[in-house]
Structure 1
Amino acid sequence: MNDKWWQSAVVYQVYPRSFADSDGDGIGDLRGIIQHLDYLKTLGVDVVWLSPIYASPHDDNGYDISDYRAIDPLFGTFEDFDELLEGLHARGMKLVMDLVVNHTSDEHPWFIESASSTDNPKRDWYWWRPAREGHRPGEQGAEPNNWGSFFSGPAWQLDPQTGEYYLHLFSRKQPDLNWENPEVRAAVYEMMNWWLDRGVDGFRMDVINFISKVTDLPDGEVPEGGLFGDASPYFVDGPRIHEFLHEMHQRVFTGRGDRYLTVGEMPGVTIAEARRFTDPANAEVDMVFQFEHVDLDHGPGGKWDHRPASVLDLKRNLSSWQEGLAGVGWNSLYWNNHDQPRVVSRFGDDGEHRVASAKALGTVLHLMRGTPYVYQGEELGMTNVPFETIGDFRDIESLNHYAEAVDILGEPAEEVLSALRRTSRDNARTPMQWTAGPNAGFTSGIPWIAANPNAATINADAEVADPDSVFAHYRALIDLRHRSDVVARGDYRLVLADHPQVFAYTRSLDGASLLVLANLTGSPASFDPAELTGWAGAEPVLTNLGAATGVADGVLRPWEAVVFARG
């Protein structure tokens, strides 16, 4: 594929509500981000992706948008936004906005009009259906089909005024837009162009592969022990998804040059589909977020049903995506985001080996083929949170799951809490840990969600000044991508494929190569140097535990990661 600027770029995700609070109201804001732009510049990232800052009732922390062309007063003003954009551009960084157009808030004017009557011109902008045949509206089982919401309960909400139900794959306050209606698509494209004209540099598109539904909305198959049907065959990568994304590209980006970035968040996407989505010849999106690797520790019961993911699981899955998109498509590389628990607690060791494991996991991810994404605090090795009671949580998904599991299904409260502590999205949403002071330096007020107590030892103040910190290692990884064409554009090949502890691969381009060796366990790992022909005399270019032994020694210390170069 043709060289693109984002092949050597690194993206940093800011969750504004939790990043930095400038006015003491306990909620992060745009001015708080502005105050830390030099921190981002020091880290070396190229792009900042902002989670939603639009007007919202905040039922789902801003992913329920009531006005796409307004800044929520919680976060600031358009003057603040323009200053942030100018500050990023002045430092050589780009700004990518979150695009949430599978659904709106039920307080968006479009939905208010749509819900006002069955013959309103915007009625067909959303998915409305009467009660199931033979049922009266409001009766148990009267929902138009058996789909369940991602946030627990049915995916349908009765509107008493019109006596019909509307579809919401997420919260009942997040009604799904009907992309079959060309007026909906035109309104979305107009809004996107409006933001690009203001100077933003692209979009991260929330659950964008859900926008095309099978229009007769059939029942899904109910899994054993389940309450609702599996609807995913009817909205994941739906029948018109490629048509819609190509149309979006043509109506929004064609003729604007190549400075923009588009990434589609696509739960359930396959390698074959991702290759098609990201093939430049198809003009859809630049890259996708897939979920296979962060679903590896989910058991048969879903995300709350934990089963450990092995090193073999991780490297085989990530390598399959490296190989599957080679030569045509492009990977988004991530361990963390606002929806995932902290990686050092999930796949690493957040105790004795926190620093080493955070560095090792970062090394493995950042040197693959693709564009790496750093979620705020990941570069510090921030960990999951010791939530004590259900009252410590704020996330609607977590709270709804607890209510359903405990009150309806009768599961033991402590078992449900244990699953929430491990997997809840709130693990990623506690305040960014700036200092060892009160509230981790996030706010002078009372934070909307409590800071992790370990901010006393894990914080930016300490790490920026420490040459052996996780922050310093992430800086080195980002720098290596910037200056190495091998990292940015080289081929990928998995080595030591069956080793149960070591994740190892090579990157090669025009006669130059890198070898990445990482022990992703807390025990020493031995390997056969003969399997790494030609690397015996190679020199380390990056390590996470100081001086490293050579390949010929055939041993890695617990959580040791070493990068060798030749050619």
Structure 2
Amino acid sequence: MGDDLASAPWWRDAVIYQLYIQSFADGNADGIGDIAGLRSRIGYLASLGIDAIWITPWFRSPLRDAGYDVSDYRAIHPRYGSVGEARELIDECHAAGIRVILDIVPNHTSSDHPWFVEALRSTAGSPERARYHFRAGRDAGQSPPNDWLSVFGGPAWTRVVDADGRPAEWYLHLFDSSQPDLNWDSEDVRSEFEDVLRFWFDLGVDGFRIDVATALVKAPGLPDLGYPDGAFLADLTRADHPHRDRDEVHEIYRSWRKLADSYDPPRMFAAEAWLDDPDRLSRYVRPDELHTTLNLYYLKSAWTAESMRRAIDASIAATSCVGAPTTWALSNHDVERVVTRYGREDTRRRPGVSGPELGPVDEQLGRRRARAAALLTLALPGSAYIYQGDELGLADAHVPEHARRDPIWIRSGGRRWGRDGARVPLPWTPDGGSFGFGDDGAWLPQPPGWGTHAVSAQARDDTSFLELHRSALRLRRTHPALGGTSEVNWCEAPREDVLVFTRDPGFGCVVNFGPTAAPIPLDGRVLLSSDRETTDREVPPHGAVWLDLRPAGRA
């Protein structure tokens, strides 16, 4: 890490590695990733050159949605380890120059959470039920209270049964029925989450990624949404949306920011905010609110010069107007891996969708584009996220139907493939029962040939995905133009399918989105290329280069 751990603000230009804990490394041979496995791979993370890790939820949970259904926010699920092990992990990461970000889930709890268990045992109108959204149904109680739909499919309401066995009120769940939405009008809810944040900050956690950050506050009266044309999800950017991006949510985050700033050094927050409107997005990162938002506009853009430039310009404009850094990511645990998406004819991201309905995948093409996309992303100002396995060039794995775990697959009756393909455990070695993930076997089946992409198979191979990322991250730390927040200066491109920009001092990036080689229009020396066939004169098809624009002989 380029600065001391006590200095700030590190998060403005950090490279953050998203670690899907159950699929990273297995330390106890049960086929599931855990803290022990993670600790055994800190050396790998340090050698990659990242600044921080973001760990997906490790809290106690029935794991119906991969830990995003939390039953105890102050405990760690026993299959991952213990709070004591977490403290040791945090200390070891800090010693290696790596900060630790956890995933907080404030929109909903698990239905196994003690609060919800108490609510089910209580009566309508009770304080216990006021922590959630319980309502009487329509049509004499027979129909849900409104027309809202679950993100995972079906109604966003489930009816409960009273102690006497009669159907009674309904409760809201924007996700699975095992994930009841919390009522953030409740003071119990607000004080509880501030206490949870303190618990982990006191243990040394450096920050939190906030799951579904826009959804906490619901409109008074929970009015109908009115889904247009039978669409599965209404436009999340529509004005006065009843359960997304409510103005009142900002009060919550101003309170959280005060709490984070009370620590020395201050802690940080990154918001998951699925918003296309730059003005609405920028409100989450005003100086007294959250520090960064995950840039989902960039992530879901098509792999074309026009689309990517539009996303880059809009993203920088949205955050710079409030003095916040921009973040960049190509994939995460909720979407198709970048190799798979960029190997399709249509490279736009679609929510919760994967599989053959999107068309065939040319993985060779996808990998060429993914290598170029990595260089584009890491050349931009602000911070960047790398989803585990993207540095290995992994594509989505085909998971047999009988092995799929995603509630999207389950709730859709198999109509939507869900996200399991992007969550298959990493390969560390070319062979073995789980390709080095653990001793034998993995919680999601790894496909034949998975070891081809293993860490040990790619290490020290200058042409590999892994070494491309290591080289890019080394240069990002040492080149004076990279990292930081210096501007992107767009230059004239030789063709419409090429992007060219510079950053001061003395850095250039050329990205060729087309199927034929393109001339490099800048005067400089190639520092790094996504393709080993590159010369100082041309960018290969579906390729990218970094250039040192400083004159020869200049220090």
Common fold: TM-score over 0.5: yes
The alignment status of 1:517 with 2:519, answered yes or no, reads no
Is the Cα–Cα contact under 8 Å of residues 9 and 482 in structure 1 kept in the other structure? no
Aligned ranges 1:476-487 → 2 under 5 Å: 476-487=471-482
Name the SS for the 1:151 alignment partner.
Answer: coil
Deviation, 1:547, is: 6.1
- Aligned 8 A contact 2:298 2:315 in 1: no
Amino acid at match of 2:245: D
Contact 1:22/1:32 (<8 A) preserved: yes
1:323 alignment partner, one of 299, 317, 320: 317
Inter-partner Cα distance in structure 2 for 1:35 and 1:227: 43
Asked if 1:541 corresponds to 2:548, the answer is: no
CA distance in 2, matches of 1:191, 1:229: 32
What is the aligned counterpart of 1:124 among 130, 136, 148?
A: 130
| Cα distance in 2 between the residues matched to 1:323 and 1:505 | 16
Query: CA offset at residue 198 of structure 1?
Result: 1.0
Cα distance, 1:23 vs. partner?
Answer: 1.7
Report the residue type matching 1:558 in the other structure: P
Aligned-partner Cα distance in 2 for 1:231–1:8: 29
Shift of 1:168: 0.5
For the Cα contact (< 8 Å) 2:270–2:292, is it kept in 1?
yes
Give yes or no for contact 1:365–1:372 (8 Å, CA) kept in 2: yes
Q: Which residue of the other structure, out of 215, 231, 244, is the alignment partner of 1:236?
A: 244
Question: How does 1:287-366 map onto structure 2 within 5 Å?
Answer: 287-296=292-301, 310-326=304-320, 328-348=323-343, 351-353=363-365, 356-366=368-378
Match of 2:356 in 1: none
Secondary structure at the aligned position of 1:61 is classed as coil
Pair 1:245-2:246 in alignment: no
Q: Contact (CA 8 Å) 1:147, 1:230: kept in 2 or not?
A: no
Contact 2:533–2:540, Cα closer than 8 Å, also in 1: no
Corresponding position of 1:49: 54
- Aligned partners of 2:236 and 2:275 also within 8 Å: no
The 8 Å contact of residues 44 and 478 in structure 1, kept in 2 or not, is answered as yes
Q: 1:454 to 1:311 in 2, by over 3 A?
A: farther
How far apart are residue 541 of structure 1 and its match?
Answer: 1.9
Kindly state the Cα deviation for residue 45 of structure 1 after the two structures are TM-superposed.
0.9
Number of equivalent positions = 516
Do the aligned partners of 1:386 and 1:452 also contact (CA within 8 Å) in 2?
A: yes
Q: Distance in 1 between matches of 2:489 and 2:442?
A: 46
1:81-100 aligned at under 5 Å gives the runs 81-100=86-105
- Describe the shift of the 1:165–1:159 C-alpha distance in structure 2 as closer, same or farther (beyond 3 A): same
- How do 1:145-544 and structure 2 match up within 5 A? 145-161=146-162, 163-226=168-231, 233-250=241-258, 252-268=259-275, 270-280=277-287, 283-296=288-301, 310-326=304-320, 328-348=323-343, 351-353=363-365, 356-387=368-399, 389-403=400-414, 405=415, 420=417, 424-437=418-431, 438-487=433-482, 488-496=484-492, 499-508=495-504, 512-521=505-514, 523-526=515-518, 532=521, 535-536=522-523, 538-544=524-530
> CA separation of 1:402/1:565 partners in 2, compared to 1, >3 Å: closer, same or farther?
farther
The answer to which of 54-63 and 221-230 deviates more is 221-230
The structural deviation recorded for 1:230 is 6.3
- Conserved? CA contact 1:355–1:469, under 8 Å: no
CA gap of 1:285–1:497, structure 2 versus 1, over 3 A, is farther
Report how far residue 353 of structure 1 moved. 4.6
Change (3 A) 1:92 1:295: closer
Identify if the C-alpha distance between structure 1 residues 480 and 258 changes in structure 2 by more than 3 Å, giving closer, same or farther: farther
- C-alpha distance after superposition, 1:448-491 (max 9, x if no partner): 11113232311101112312211111112212222234222210
Name the SS for the 1:453 alignment partner: coil
TM-superposed deviation, 1:102: 0.6
- 1:260 is displaced (CA, Å) by 2.3
Structure 1 35/350 Cα, relative in aligned 2: closer, same or farther at 3 Å? farther
The whole-number CA distance in structure 2 between the counterparts of 1:109 and 1:498 is: 62
Q: Shift of the alpha carbon at 1:249?
A: 1.2
**Matches of 1:559 and 1:227, distance apart in 2:** 34
1:213 Cα offset (Å): 1.4
Deviates further, 81-90 or 228-237: 228-237
How many angstroms does 1:323 deviate by?
3.3
For 2:234 and 2:48, locate their aligned partners in 1 and report how far apart those are by CA, in whole Å. Answer: 45
Counterpart of 2:112 in 1: which secondary structure?
A: coil
Amino acid at match of 2:273: M
- List gaps (5 residues or longer) in structure 2: 1-6, 344-360, 551-555
If the length of structure 2 is used for normalisation, what is the TM-score?
0.87
TM-score of the aligned structures, taking structure 1 as reference length:
0.86
How far residue 321 of structure 1 moved from its aligned partner, in angstroms, is 1.0
C-alpha root-mean-square deviation of aligned residues, in Å? 2.3
Q: Is the 8 A contact 2:296 2:329 kept in 1?
A: no
1:124 counterpart SS class? helix
Range with bigger deviation, 376-385 or 108-117: 108-117
Aligned residue type for 1:34: R
Contact 2:339 2:363 in 1 (8 A): no
In structure 1, list runs of 5 or more residues that go unmatched. 298-308, 406-415
Letter in 2 for 1:312: E
Map of 2:145 onto structure 1: 144
